[in-house]
Amino acid sequence: EAGVAQSPRYKIIEKRQSVAFWCNPISGHATLYWYQQILGQGPKLLIQFQNNGVVDDSQLPKDRFSAERLKGVDSTLKIQPAKLEDSAVYLCASSPGTGSFEQYFGPGTRLTVT
Amino acid sequence: AQSVSQHNHHVILSEAASLELGCNYSYGGTVNLFWYVQYPGQHLQLLLKYFSGDPLVKGIKGFEAEFIKSKFSFNLRKPSVQWSDTAEYFCAVVDAGNNRKLIWGLGTSLAVNP
């Protein structure tokens, strides 16, 4: 089965610019997650979707970050405007969502804000 | 709040040495436990998982972990490491009562010298 797809793989922007990341989960997976992973740390959950509804966005900096999952499949994560401290790898993961807690991860997008 | 503690942040071993990475969690209820691995330049992959049943679980590449409920521990072991095991290892726990949120440890960086 195809894995979780993410694009772009790398992005370099200047502070105050905007950026968007795209994620395509494994087909049929109801739950989609966006994580931020700063070098040397574990992933930090930003937002969790169940189908196209938000389940948890308690750690999403809503003044600059936004995410949507239209039609319950693909998802985009946007940062506007970016700050230097947003430099990190942004991971997308998906899980079947019913009885299985295992998450499958995409390759991530490495964002550098200069 | 649920938390996960990984005791070793950096481990350096020689090939053929035995490995044990500690992981403790704080939640006292039903837990689902995972070890994920991130090889250099690659995405997070599931190494092994515990949901129920035999507390000694075997994963890929010769890894195993033992769930000890009384100690709130889920330590990862491998009897003989290889250079290719050089990676970042993350322990994670699903908080079944909190939207199945995955709680992550900070990770352990393992370097295996040939």
DSSP chain A: ----EEE-SEEEE-TT--EEEEEE--TT--EEEEEEE-TTS--EEEEEEETTEEEE-TTS-TTTEEEE-GGGS-EEEEESS--GGG-EEEEEEEE--SS----EE---EEEEE-
- Chain A, 60-89: which have a CB under 8 Å from a chain B CB? none
Encoding tokens for residue A8? Answer: 């772009």
Q: What is the pLDDT of residue A39?
A: 83
Q: Considering Cα of A88, then A104, then B4, then B107, what sign does the dihedral take?
A: negative
Residue of B nearest to A108 (CA): B43
Residue B7 has a pLDDT of 87
pLDDT averages per 10-residue partition of chain A, 114 residues: 90 97 94 91 91 91 95 94 96 83 91 97
**pLDDT in the model for residue A12:** 98
* Residue B108 and residue B56 in contact, taking contact as beta carbons nearer than 8 Å: no
Q: If you measure CA to CA, which chain A residue comes closest to B10? A: A40
Could you read off the pLDDT of B52-63 as tens digits, one per residue?
Answer: 899 999 999 999
* B100 at A interface, C-beta within 8 A: yes
Over chain B (114 residues), what is each successive 10-residue block's mean pLDDT?
Answer: 87 97 86 92 90 92 94 96 96 78 90 94
**pLDDT for position A14:** 97
Contact B75, B21 (CB under 8 A): yes
Whether residue A96 lies within 8 A of chain B, CB to CB, comes out as: no
**Å between A81 CA and nearest CA of chain B:** 27
Please report the pLDDT score of residue A72 as a whole number. Answer: 84
Strand duo A10-13 + A109-113: pairing: parallel
Interchain proximity B102–A103, CB inside 8 Å:
yes
Q: With an 8 Å Cβ cutoff, are A41 and B90 in contact?
A: no
Q: Give yes or no for B35 touching A (CB within 8 A).
A: no
Q: Amino acid identity of A40?
A: G
pLDDT at A42: 85
Res B46: pLDDT: 92
- Distance CA(A70)–CA(B58), nearest Å, equals 38
Which site among B31, B102, B104 would you substitute to test the A interface, given the most A Cβ atoms closer than 10 Å to its Cβ? B102
Residue with tokens 């389940």: A55
Give the pLDDT of residue A99.
65
| Selection from B40, B12, B67 nearest residue A39 by Cα | B40
Residue B60: phi and psi, rounded to 5, are -80, 160
pLDDT at B22: 96
Contacts of B59 (CB under 8 A, 6+ apart): B35, B46, B47, B48, B49, B65
CB atoms within 10 A of CB B15: 13
